[in-house]
Amino acid sequence: MDYSPDYKLIGKRIRNIRLKQALTQDKLAELSGIETRYLSKIENGTSKLSLPCLMSVANALHITVDTLLMDNILASKPNLLNEVEEVFSDCSPAEIFVFTQTLIALKNNLRLKGLSNSQK
């Protein structure tokens, strides 16, 4: 199984967040301590970035590293469903209803803001 990061997705997420924060590539590069040319290659997915660089960019954007990596995390549906079942095992029907409605609203909000890649 290939566990290599998808650098194109990471770069796309960096670019989207940078634009939402109204930062230029020059400004984000300055805040991150990297060259603008290198940031451009990262955003285009043509250059790999190291963990220290990833952390630097995340800090400059005031976000967590997992925000940039979330498209790269593998979670199989059976494992995820087992986890969900365990989390809800001690909940009342009313609590399950509220959690379900909250998750639906969150999913819709993520998709509206373009933060979700898999819209199946």
Query: Cα separation of 111 and 119, whole Å?
Result: 8
Quickly list H helices, 2-116: 7-20, 25-32, 36-44, 51-61, 65-69, 77-88, 93-112
Query: Which residue has better confidence, 5 or 32?
Result: 32
**pLDDT value at residue 117:** 56
pLDDT digits (tens, 9 = 90+) for 10-32: 999 999 999 999 999 999 999 99
| Average pLDDT value for the chain | 87
User: How far apart (Å, rounded) are the C-alpha atoms in residues 3 and 73?
Assistant: 9
Please name each of the domains of the chain with its CATH number.
7-72 (1.10.260.40), 77-112 (no CATH)
29: its two tokens: 């590069």
Question: How many helical (H) and strand (E) elements, i.e. helices and strands, does the chain have?
Answer: 7, 0
pTM of the model: 0.63
